[in-house]
Amino acid sequence: MKACKRVAGRRSGWFSIHWGNHRRTAAVLSQWTLPPAFRRQLLDAMPRLRRYTRSLVFDAGQADDLTQSTLERALTHWHQFGQQRNMLVWPLSIAHNAHLDTFRRDGRTTATDPAELQREMDRLGGDAGPDIGLQIDLLAALRRLRG
């Protein structure tokens, strides 16, 4: 299988694992001080988690990023996992919430091409208004001339 996208992070070794290689994944997880039972359950939940993230985003690269984000959140907050909960459900709910966070964040931001923005401003017409920074600089220069 393909390797995960390398991303800089607090635990950069985590991001270079291969999804299909549980032995290497176990070695990476050993960097964290986790109970052995939790580590084993998380390893067993990874294939299902990856399938679930693929079904959420329909893109392999984005699914890998979402899976990485989910696993990082799970490892960071492992102490919040209750042993009475189902380990298969917990990472899936983290993935779902992470996906919604990304969806909301992307909905608030827009990327606009500068040329397209200029065309839109030209279409709307009107002056963009005085440059406040230029006015402040002009007033400061006039004060220096007077004083």
CATH number for the domain harbouring residue 93: 1.10.1740
The reported pLDDT for the residue numbered 32 is 63
Residue 127's pLDDT band (cuts 50, 70, 90): low
Domain range for residue 69?
12-114
- pLDDT score, position 128: 62
Spatial distance between the Cα atoms of 5 and 62, rounded to a whole number of angstroms: 10
What's the structural domain count of the chain? Answer: 1
Tell me the three state secondary structure of residue 18. Answer: strand
Identity of the residue numbered 48: R
Q: What are phi and psi of 110, to 5 degrees?
A: -130, 140
**Residue 43 · residue 25 · CB < 8 Å:** yes
Residue 21 lies in a domain: yes
Contacts of 46 (CB under 8 A, 6+ apart): 19, 22, 25, 67, 71
Give domain status of residue 121, yes or no. no
Q: Is residue 24 part of a domain?
A: yes
Whether 74 is covered by a domain: the verdict is yes
Residue 97 lies in a domain: yes
Q: What is the pLDDT at residue 29?
A: 56
Structure confidence by residue, pLDDT tens digits, 20-61:
444 445 555 556 678 888 889 999 999 999 999 999 999 999
Pull the structure tokens for residue 50: 């990856």
Asked if residue 138 belongs to a domain, the reply is no
